[in-house]
Amino acid sequence: MLLQSQASQLTELLGLPEAKVEDMTIIDGVGVFFVVRSTRRDAECPRCGKRSRHLHTNNGYDIEDLPWNDQSVVLRVNRRQFWCEGCGEVFSEELVFVNKRRLYTKRLANQIVGQVLGSSIRSVAARTGMSEEQIETMLKDAGEAYLLETPEGLKYLGIDEIAVVKGQGKYYGVLVNLETHQPITLLPSRSPPPATAVTPPSRPRYRYSITI
């Protein structure tokens, strides 16, 4: 078990929001394992919105995170279930660093999506050891998240495509802010996405970059 000072240093180094490192294990040839718990004492019921501290069940999950020095990193997380006094339902807490029903962190997914933008799903899967299905799910999650945001100060918009496998005809359309090189939205489409997918402020000028 780590000393408190060591746990605090690792918590700061890992940099996960609302999470604390309790222990760490390094297994040669396998990776680095962190035992992580939420720093919150309660959770909000998704049904009625009431916060609860009534613990119902502890559930352990292994969550994949960004690698350290080419070593795999796994977070061993206790995702608790609470009983809600308001509606009487049992619910799982939301962890801010991982999407619901996902076994990888948001920041790992963002990194993978960034790699796919300059490559193909299959090549990134081969390089990272992730499955093509996992990467496609990351792309879909990213597309849904980007659609909820309104880009600010957008001046130059690029339209690009991400190949599932280069040259085999299945693509995801992607809108990119050409100044920041950040994706704005992802759409599973072979054709350029409609302009209504993004509502840019103050009628900016567009520069289209289409790669087919």
CB 130 within 8 A of CB 124: yes
User: One digit per residue, pLDDT tens: the chain, 212 residues?
Assistant: 788 899 999 999 999 999 999 999 999 989 999 999 999 999 999 999 999 999 999 999 999 999 998 899 999 999 999 999 999 999 999 999 999 889 999 999 989 988 887 788 889 999 998 998 999 888 888 877 765 566 667 778 787 777 766 656 667 777 777 777 667 777 655 544 455 444 444 433 333 443 33
In the chain, the amino acid numbered 94 is: E
State the pTM of this model: 0.76
Angle, nearest 10°, between helix axes 121-128 and 132-147? Answer: 120
Name, in order, each residue with C-beta under 8 angstroms of 163's C-beta and a sequence gap of 6 or more.
120, 121, 170, 171
| Residues 74, 64 contacting (CB under 8 angstroms) | yes
pLDDT at 169 (0 to 100): 60
Instruction: Count Cβ neighbours within 10 Å for each residue of 15-28 and write b for 16 or more, e otherwise.
Output: ebeebebbebeeee
Nearest residue to 54 (alpha-carbon basis) of 63, 42, 65, 45? 42
Asked if 72 and 64 count as a contact pair (C-beta separation under 8 A), the reply is: yes
